[in-house]
Amino acid sequence: MPELPEVETVRRGLVPVMEGRVITQAAVNREGLRWPFPAGMAGRLSGARVTALRRRSKYILADLSTDETLLIHLGMSGRMLISGQMLGTFHHDHPAPKKHDHVVLDMDGGARITFNDARRFGAMDLMPTATAESHPLLSSLGPEPLGNTFDEPYLAARLKGRNTPIKSALLDQHIVAGLGNIYVCETLYRARIAPQTKAGNLRAGQVAALVPIIREVLAEAIEAGGSSLRDFRQADGELGYFQHSFQVYDREGKPCVTLGCGATVGRIVQSGRSSFYCPVCQR
DNA sequence: ATGGGGGCCTGCCGGC
DNA sequence: TGCCGGCAGGCCCCCA
């Protein structure tokens, strides 16, 4: 489910209860999610202090005092719930366990973090911190879209000659890491580029425009997540998914929001995924 | 190498 | 109310 902005929002929500804290007890309720958990995961987590909580693409990385790093991927339906330590509110009971609560981390500050994932497309793994970036899930990722190495010359080089639609190219985590279906649709709408356009056929100006637009779309979504987080980590302590208003995503049949356009948002399927777009604005 | 399709899982929503 | 098909924001793997 979550794309880069949602994962970043979750990471920021976890920082106050995890960073610098010791995992006093880890409970693992099943063998694994998408892949088996690493051997002895609960024991390797218990007693470890989280020294830093980082993000790479859609992965959360918790560096531990044991010189291991815990990799967390939320898949499509993964959620992190915080209980036992609410913002200024008197509250220290934990809610009853729910279906699909797969991993539970109790922290020394009194917080409990529960990883719930109905579809089990998520993942957790442990690896030495020193070689974290060579983890198979991370080693071939493209650059961070908000980082310095993601720029126009880079993107132009990666799209050059590619016959795949720009929609698919931007979803390719090897080209740029962290975009998913929603933000690719939103990016192409803002860039006024039709999703069917062959990546290699984009004009230079279009490629140049994509870089700042991708940055803007993601930054705005993180900002929206950050602001909703303040009111969002309450009642059930669920982190993460803010209501965000999209310009085209999931708006099939609704009017294009561009003033005076008057067209209707369309939907096509590309590589098995829905692309939402304005057939008039996007060329 | 590249591009396309299948598969993994469960939950939800709309139509009948 | 229930059943059923279709769909979901991710990612890996296999095939041509």
Residue of A136, A127, A116, A95 lying closest to A30 (CA atoms) = A116
Which residue ranges have CB below 7 A from strand B? A 34, 77, 99-100, 118-121, 162-165, 168, 199, 271-272
Nucleotides of C under 7 A from a protein CB: 7-12
pLDDT band at residue A1 using 50, 70 and 90 as cut-offs: low
A201-215 b/e with 16+ CB inside 10 Å = b? ebeeebbbbbbebbe
pLDDT of residue A228: 52
Specify the nucleotide whose C1' lies closest to residue A141 (CA): C11
Spanning CA of A155 to C1' of B6, the rounded length in angstroms is 29
| The two three-digit tokens of residue A269, written as one number | 């399927």
Indicate if the pLDDT at residue A282 is higher than 50: yes
Q: What is the pLDDT of residues A7-37, one digit of tens each?
A: 998 899 899 999 999 999 999 999 999 999 9
pLDDT value, residue A235: 41
Domains, chain A, ordered by start = 4-134 (3.20.190.10), 152-277 (1.10.8.50)
The CA distance from A103 to A80, in Å, is 10
Please check the confidence at residue A112 and state whether its pLDDT lies above 90. yes
**Protein CA A77 to sugar C1' C1 (Å):** 28
User: Residue A129: what are its φ and ψ, rounded to 5°?
Assistant: -55, -35
Please name which of A79, A82, A104 lies closest in space to residue A92, comparing C-alpha atoms. A82
| Residue with CA nearest C1' of nucleotide B6 | A272
Q: Which residues contact A254 (CB under 8 A, 6 or more apart)?
A: A264, A265
Report, as residue numbers or ranges, the catalytic residues of A: 2-3, 58, 273
Query: Which pLDDT does position A86 carry in this prediction?
Result: 55
> Does the pLDDT value for residue A88 go beyond 90?
no
- Who has greater pLDDT, A220 or A225? A220
Nearest nt (C1') from A267 Cα: C7
pLDDT at A232 over 60: no
Percent of the residues in chain A that have a pLDDT greater than 70, as a whole number: 90
> Which nucleotide across the nucleic acid strands is nearest to A178, CA versus C1'?
C10
pLDDT of A31 reads 92
pLDDT-based confidence at residue A109 (cuts at 50, 70, 90): confident
CA dist list (Å): A232 to A5, A137, A215, A242: 15, 30, 24, 8
Tokens of A14: 């976890």
Which of A8-22, A113-127, A221-235 is least confident? A221-235
Angstrom distance (rounded) from CA A253 to CA A250: 9
**Nucleotides, chain B, CB distance < 7 Å:** 2-11
State residue A219's pLDDT score: 92
